Amino acid sequence: MKPAAFAYLAPRDLDEALDQLAEHGADARVLAGGQSLVRLMNARLASPAVVVDINRVPGLDSLAVTNGSGPATLRLGATVRQRTSELSPDVAAHAPLLVEAGAHVAHAPVRSRGTVVGSVAFADPSAELPTALLALDGRVVVRSRAGERTIEADDFFTGAFTNALDAGEMVVAIEVPGSPPGTGSAFVEVARRHGDLPVCGVAAVVTRSDDGRVSSARIALCGADERPVRARAAEDALTGSDGGADAVAEAAARAADGLSPRGDCHGSPDFRRHLARILTGRAVSTAVHRAAGEA
């Protein structure tokens, strides 16, 4: 199969891109790394009339940690490649979870072109990076001709392959807030083959206070529902606990509460719930140890 015909636009700056998105509305798709979009277009699962290629828009490839008045924030622009992110010392220091989760995404040639923001915007319910962003309490920065707004990751993923963008808007960056001292994270998944989308995956971010108690826990799952979701019952079980084996087991036992996984040839709903519990136990256990500085 080959893509259906479309008009190709290559805006030279962000204003031009936003004008084009405003003009063409739902007929237009933003092209960044293209590792999801072009695949869909080849299969004619997507046939946009207009493709807005943002790769030549200056500034969107910036990857920076900003130390404003508040805590440090990691900001990844819309054309930052996954490979660039995974090799960045800033990302490794600020949000190692993004690196750990990103290593599971496809293979190097795909990550060399594919973007972190593109994966987030694509909102595949099985994908690793949206789930990592959710666990990291990240934000999505979107722009339109009307201006800029920031959407919490918690509110961004509205369903399978759907997000909270309005017509004429595009994601210009994601932001990851800094973690307090005593924070550890982990990502684990089960996939049929290395590089495949996971059947189920779990991202956990755990912060322990000086007395060793878990002061906050964010656990996010992919492949476990219609969209990347928080395992709130598991978070509640862990928060305030001593982070010991019993607490981890309790969190794991509750990880599938309220989930509605879809069954397919890779796993039944029950199997995915099972994986959600097992993998939550592993991810949380690792995150707790890392929070205590035990690697």
Partner 1 sequence: MGETTAPEKIRIGLTVNDVRHDLLVEPRTLLADLLRGDLELTGTHIGCEQGVCGACTVLVDGTATRSCLVFAAQLDGAAVRTVESLAGADGTLHPIQQAFHENHGLQCGFCTPGMLMGACELLERTAEPDPDEVREALGGNLCRCTGYQNIVRSVCAAGRTMTADRNSTATTTATTTATTTNGAQA
Residues that bind partner 1 (CB under 8 A): 1-8, 10, 27, 31, 34-35, 38-39, 41-43, 49, 51, 53, 55, 106-110, 112-113, 194-195
Question: In sequence order, what are the residues at sequence separation of 6 or more whose Cβ sits closer than 8 angstroms to the Cβ of residue 84?
Answer: 63
Least distance between partner 1 and beta carbon 27 (Å): 6
Least distance between partner 1 and beta carbon 43 (Å): 6
Based on CB atoms, which residue is closest to partner 1, 49 or 93?
49
Based on CB atoms, which residue is closest to partner 1, 49 or 160?
49
Based on CB atoms, which residue is closest to partner 1, 35 or 183?
35
Based on CB atoms, which residue is closest to partner 1, 178 or 195?
195
Give the C-alpha separation, 203 to 218, whole Å: 8
Based on CB atoms, which residue is closest to partner 1, 49 or 245?
49
Give the C-alpha separation, 77 to 227, whole Å: 23
Tell me if 202 sits within 8 A of 97, measured CB to CB. Answer: no
Question: In sequence order, what are the residues at sequence separation of 6 or more whose Cβ sits closer than 8 angstroms to the Cβ of residue 38?
Answer: 3, 31
Least distance between partner 1 and beta carbon 202 (Å): 22
Tell me if 23 sits within 8 A of 17, measured CB to CB. Answer: no
- Report which residue type is found at 41: M
Based on CB atoms, which residue is closest to partner 1, 151 or 190?
190
Give the C-alpha separation, 20 to 15, whole Å: 9
Task: Classify each residue of 15-46 as buried b or exposed e, where b means 16 or more C-beta atoms within 10 Å of its C-beta.
Answer: eebbbbbeebeeebbbbbbbbbbeebbeeeeb
CB atoms within 10 A of CB 258: 12
Least distance between partner 1 and beta carbon 165 (Å): 20
Based on CB atoms, which residue is closest to partner 1, 79 or 285?
79
Based on CB atoms, which residue is closest to partner 1, 14 or 106?
106
Q: What Rg value do the Cα atoms of the chain yield, rounded?
A: 19
Give the C-alpha separation, 221 to 230, whole Å: 6
Least distance between partner 1 and beta carbon 49 (Å): 5
Least distance between partner 1 and beta carbon 63 (Å): 17
- What angle is formed at CA 218 by the lines to CA 215 and CA 221, rounded to 5 degrees? 160
Least distance between partner 1 and beta carbon 50 (Å): 9
Least distance between partner 1 and beta carbon 295 (Å): 21
Q: Is the dihedral of CA 282, 228, 154, 259 positive or negative?
A: negative
Question: In sequence order, what are the residues at sequence separation of 6 or more whose Cβ sits closer than 8 angstroms to the Cβ of residue 39?
Answer: none
